[in-house]
Chain A
Amino acid sequence: MLDLVKTMEHEKIDLTINPDAVRKILTGFITSEITRAGFSHAVVNLSGGLDSALSCYLAAEALGAENVLALCLPYKSSTPDSLEHAALVIKHLGVQSTTIPISAMADALIQQFPDMNHVRQGNIMARLRMIVLYDQSEVFHALPIGTGNKTEILLGYTTLFGDSAAAINPIGDLYKTQVRQLAQAMGIPAVIIDKPPTADLWVGQTDEGELGFTYAEVDQLLFLLVDQRFSPEDCVKFGFAEGFVRAVLERVRRNQFKRLMPPIAKLSNRTVGYDFLYLRDWGT
């Protein structure tokens, strides 16, 4: 009987979006924020995964495919699937593209530390991709588009100054579950939507394997905790395992630093970040 109640409660969490409405806002956002900054082009790191594919689709729709540069930046251990799926996106959209392998750049550092663990190696790859992204943005006179979704931003499942670095992020307020819905509506190939999400930083890595839970589960919990302002206790009453709730909450708390600019030690009467307050769109 108790289980039945829990099941019914869970059904009340509804992460369904209206893809047309969201698409209109996000393409409008990209157009507005790129053009007001004085640009007309965008550049996206295309990993072969779903999030970057969606950002690329949105940018192409907002700015025109010819104004979007998709970068494929494989490391030698990247799965062949990743390049194949990125190629699918490029072909489908007709965006411009460049492939720049990062193996030599990464190995120049990695090989100096024979015992370097895969987390360090993964962070190096993510940050090198950021360097190439920003370098190519200069070449293409473009702004880099972010590809992080709300789930990974909240969980801090991202490399600071690596894959989290971008000028604007159209998909950062969509949970992974919602990213899939929008991706489907925009016609992203099913093979990309359906495959297990992975940062592809080492062989066999999957997001859900590394995190220890599924996006379907954690998106529901985050929706209650963050969007609906449920207390952890209420989430447990709702039917989520207490250990799971505590672990997720702790992850969210511990990773707050990844969501903020570095704090500046305040000394003067007017300090950037505290009382020098202007939007990016200042004057436009």
Chain B
Amino acid sequence: MKCRVAIAQISAHLGDVKANLEKHLDLISQAQAAGADLIVFPELSLTGYCLQDLVPTVAHHPVADDPVFTPLLEASHQVDLVVGFVDEDSRHRFFIASAYLSAGNVLHVHHKTHLPTYGLFDEGRFFAWGDQVRAFDTKFGRAGILICEDFWHVSPPYLLWLDGADLLLFSSASPGRGINAQPALESACWVEDINRAYASLFTSFVVHSNRVGFEDGLNFWGGSTIYDPNGGLVSRCPYHEEILSITDIDLHQLQRTRARLPLLRDERTGLVLREMHRILAHDP
């Protein structure tokens, strides 16, 4: 089975949801015209990243009567969507979130579980921590969504893998940093290395949609990628440029790779669980 994946590697207007929504709808139309089955937007694509005190003013809830999600759900009849936004729950906690929309339905909402609050990051100051990592079923098989720092930790991708996800959909708003003699920033190299490693270790597809543009002095480096279950690079977007990238992935590659390399079959989940219990109980 083939899946035509569009990555919307775009910039965002900081705090201007209306302008960002228009851009989303335009790109969704373009992706649809190109025959895409799925379009993946970056982290906080509807709001911008360094929101600080703007957080409560840009929040939405992914339901049919929300003014932002109404047109997005309508568009999801044509092509499946992953969009980034600020989710406000009924008790007014704000989450960095990504929603998977398909055929007019919200199939899944992921709340970012790991909020970087160190170095240049301050997410824990403004956002609540998500507390679930769950795979979900799509027409392309079982998938999982993670947002930026979530996949800087190995445990969330591992949990998604065990929960049945063969298609890992990663989104980020990754600030570029670390210059040296190489053409790629150190932050870009690091993310590419781990995404390739996840594809290889979990014999899965890893789709990464990263934003571009600037917010004050921060640059977002783009370089969105798709890796196949062999760890092979299927596509890579340019650094620092807006692009709608369309790539066909062959989902049968999962079978060919796992027939050769049965890492999933041989994963010792019972052993992991026993040892985790021991480690967390500090029992030697």
Contacts and interface: CB of A to CB of B under 8 A. Distances in A.
Contact of A14 (B15, B180, B216): B180
B270 interface: no
Interface string A261-284: 000000000000001111111111
A23 to B, nearest CB: 11
Contact of A277 (B53, B180, B183): B53
Contacts, number: 66
A17 B178 CA distance: 10
Interface in B85-128: none
A279 B240 contact: no
Interface in B57-110: none
A17 B184 CA distance: 11
Contact of B215 (A24, A275, A279): A279
A275 B13 CA distance: 22
Contacts of A16: 180-181
Size category of the B interface is 20 to 34
B182 A283 contact: no
B261 interface: no
A18 interface: yes
B52 interface: yes
Nearest to A30: B214
User: Per DSSP, are chain B's interface residues mostly helix, strand or loop, or mixed?
Assistant: loop
Size category of the A interface is 20 to 34
A283 B179 contact: no
A279 B181 contact: no
Given A32-B214, A278-B54, A284-B13, A17 B219 contact: no
State the 6 A-B residue pairs at the shortest beta-carbon distance, nearest first.
A277-B52, A32-B214, A16-B181, A279-B216, A281-B14, A277-B53
Interface of A: 14, 16-18, 20-22, 24-25, 28-29, 32-33, 168, 173, 178, 275-284
29 contacts: A14-B180, A14-B181, A18-B179, A18-B181, A18-B183, A21-B179, A21-B182, A21-B184, A24-B240, A28-B219, A29-B214, A29-B217, A29-B219, A32-B213, A32-B214, A33-B214, A173-B217, A178-B179, A276-B53, A278-B52, A279-B50, A279-B215, A280-B216, A281-B216, A282-B54, A283-B14, A283-B16, A284-B13, A284-B16
